[in-house]
Amino acid sequence: MKDELIGYDGIGLSELIRKGELTALELVDLTIRRIEKVNPRLNAVIHKMYDEARRIAREDYPKAGKRDSQSPFCGIPFLLKDLIAECKGAPFNEGSRAVKGYVSKIDSELVLRYKAGGLIMIGKTNTPEFGLLPTTEPALFGPTVNPWDPSLTPGGSSGGSAAAVAAGVVPMAHGNDGGGSIRIPSSCCGIFGLKPSRGRNPLGPLFGDIASGIAYEHALTRSVRDSAALLDVSSGPDLGDPYYCKPKERPFLREVGQNPGRLKIGVLTGVPEGYGIEGPMHPDCEAAVKDAARLCEGLGHTVEEVSPSILGHTDIWLTFRKIFSSFAGHAVKYWEKELGKKIGQEDLEPLTWTVYQAGLQLTGADYLVSVEEFQRFGRKIARCFHEGGYDLLLSPTLNTPPVKLGLFKPYPEDPKKFLRLANAFAGFTRIYNLGGQPAMSVPLYWNSENLPIGVQFGARFGEEVTLFRLAAQLEQARPWANRKPVIHCGS
């Protein structure tokens, strides 16, 4: 049977439900059929919540308009990444054999807001162990493949969510981003991905921050307006949050379609020494940035190339490594306490164990010095915007197109090789994890092999508005939603 709803985004589907042209239960059943159709090839959904989703759709959304909500979403099936955000009563593994069998005891604040906004959790998506890698190949569940080419990575750590959205399973899915984990898979899979400003979305009640604020919650979507509307649903401080982000002046959804004005955009095609990116940028990624710059110029924006030196010559990669290895150590220690057991080398993947051991070598003083260094870096990025008068900085999302599955593996002869490979792949994204500014990956370019190459725009702190306005303008000028990968529900 032909899927007549394959081209709808979340807002569009919600409008059908509100009008009575579609029921939430019908949409849940349709989404289940989509998962069953493509997931055996994708391996994106690792836990199915069909019975509970059907129950909620049947009891809470039996007819149009029963649930009166300010949210633009009403009875929309949603996939939750199996990392950080918890859904009460659902298995929660974080991609790790050490955690297998755990069932969430609570809803995270983010999930509570999603549910209140009309989303129905229908499954959990695959992620690497503790979200540590820019690919999605956990030993626990096996690799998720890229729907554009199953031999390639979908990116990580939100690769399961990205693959499901790109393949048409759902119009949007949850993701989180500790070094690029929303933007990396968005680029690899040809969809839209936005990392909000620090403090925009809550991490509570279990976490105040993660690794001193390098981790962020949001989603991967096909349409810009879904991303904006979902951020309206989820954003705002929770009680006791350690970070403050200036409140929005009006709903983000209302910014979509608004004239962004004449923006000044700085173009970065490289980074200074100390970022750990080895080798030149891949020609396809360079071409994608130049293409995006021309498109922005054609839309009336001022575009100028920026020297990488404005970011400063620092050892920020070493700082990030210390923070990230401490994050791995935190994950292990957190689960030892939660599970009441010791986690040993046999419980973890080799790469996780390596990063964890590196974290154990750091002292509390080492960690605090690294936090101070990346906070200084954040101020440096802020000055780049303000002193240069830039509204946005444009760069490639990734330094290369999607790479082969299996690249990020242990190299016994060179234990740190995988870290260098990961950094060379995704060195541009972590700029905004450290700095705290919002950033988005926009799917504007496909190479000669029909692989998506995302470009990244970063904005001033708290200025998601600028990103949404430009993204909607780019989406209209060069639509991407109708592009279908090899593995797709509509094929």
Residue 157 appears among annotated catalytic residues: yes
Strands (E), 269-352: 302-305
> What's the CA gap between 128 and 105, in Å, rounded?
22
Indicate the burial class of 283 (C-beta count within 10 angstroms; 0-12, 13-18, 19 or more): exposed
**C-alpha separations of 465 from 254, 261, 455 in Å:** 9, 12, 18
Catalytic residue check, 404: no
Side-chain-side CA neighbours of 169 within 13 Å: the count stands at: 32
Quick check: is 181 catalytic?
yes
Find all residues with CB under 8 Å of 416, minimum gap 6, and list them.
Answer: none
CA distance 228 to 10: 11
Question: Of residues 14, 71, 108, 157, which has the active-site annotation?
Answer: 157
**Are 173 and 79 within 8 A, CB to CB?**
yes
Which of 214, 203, 213, 221 is closest to 162 using CA atoms? 221
Query: Of 14, 37, 71, 81, which residue is the catalytic one?
Result: 81
**Token digits of residue 55:** 């129950």
Instruction: Name which of 271, 288, 121 is nearest 188 in CA terms.
Output: 288
Tokens of 376: 């200084």
Sheet order of strands, 192-195 included: 45-48, 119-125, 76-81, 172-177, 216-221, 192-195, 439-446, 452-459, 392-396, 264-267, 302-305
Q: Which of 71, 158, 181, 212 is catalytic?
A: 181
Q: Pick from 478, 476, 483: which is nearest to 167 by CA?
A: 483
| Opening angle at CA 62, ends 56 and 68, nearest 5 | 85
Encoding tokens for residue 137?
Answer: 């190949």
Q: How many CB atoms lie within 10 A of CB 489?
A: 21
Q: How far apart are CA 39 and CA 1, in angstroms?
A: 18
Active-site amino acid positions = 81, 157, 181
